[in-house]
Structure 1
Amino acid sequence: MALSSCTSYISTPISFSLSSPFRSGTSEVVTLNAFSLSFTQRLHSSIPSVSSFPTTTIKPIFLRFSIEPPRVAAQQKYVYPDPIPEFAEAETQKFRGELLKKLSKDRETFGEELDAVVKVCAEIFSDFLHKEYGGPGTLLVEPFTDMLVALKEKKLPGAPVAARAALLWAQNYVDQDWEVWNSQHPK
């Protein structure tokens, strides 16, 4: 019997209205059952009232901030090593041989001018290796566009094919050859 009377007691809802001093003219209806009301009453009875705490005066604290941009360490730029003439000579010889072998497969395009095409490409490549190439990260496209332009100016056949073949070979081998060269010839 105690259980059934408790069930009927809990299922009876209680409604009341709340109005907020922050919202003018609005009120909210809250519906509670007896269980939540008794739980809330017990919760509030266990919390000490505000008047039981000692009162203190809060004084404002003034902080002084300095607005300076954060100090950033100066970034050091990576300086590539200077070109190595011995490496440039060895790599130019290798380039000349590989380009001649690659372009000789296309005799229809180059005909009798194959040696002249390879000579122009090798001179430009050698000049680049002697003056500008300083290791991985310094292989530029300009010498290969210079090869294309020089071959066209001299009216040599297959300028685009030769320049592209030279570029592809350089992309695949020059940086690796540089690493091997420096591992075999320490400074």
Structure 2
Amino acid sequence: MKTKDSSPVSRPRERIIETASRLFFRQGYCSTGINQIISESGVAKASFYAHFPSKEDLAIAWLRQREENWMQQLGERVGQHQSAEKRIAAMYTMWYDQICEEGYRGCGFINMAGEFSSEESPVRTCVRDHKNRVRQFVANHVLDQHRDTMTPGGYDELVDAVYSLFDGAIVQAQNFMQDWPIEAALKASINMLPHERGEIS
């Protein structure tokens, strides 16, 4: 039986990332200092720097962990359905659940990217890579049944449109502090599907 000290949450690295996740979302990256993260995670300063040489390194570690968990959950939800219509609906449940769990705080990746002005920043690169993987997920696991029924150009346009609606919905929900942008984007995505027009009950 594991003791409390040996549980994953009690390990310094996990505590630091967990604390940073909460503070980055609540206060923003630039407004969150390393000393606050160290204090609230209950680790020694030497332990912090042993795991993360800089706050930017911590931000990247948090984003990568968030992506791993988020993409796994997305894959599980989408994988339960056969039609593109139901798979799209399953994607949007991610946003509804995120609003319930985290409030109207938007996308952690987009929020983080907005705090780094340089396009060469490793954080911005991390965010772009994540968004490319989400778009590729839409192409390979959500709309793939339409790939052979459309021209390559038409299929790419459909993927771009569905991905853009999905990714933009959480930003507008954050902006308006309401969930109607998610519902509107879901309906628009469904209406773009070839031969699958209809409403989600």
Q: TM-score w.r.t. structure 2 length?
A: 0.27
Q: TM-score w.r.t. structure 1 length?
A: 0.29
Work out which structure has the larger RCO, using CA pairs closer than 8 Å and 6 or more positions apart in sequence.
Answer: 2
By percentage of residues, which structure has more helix? 2
Determine which structure has more spread, i.e. the larger CA radius of gyration: 1
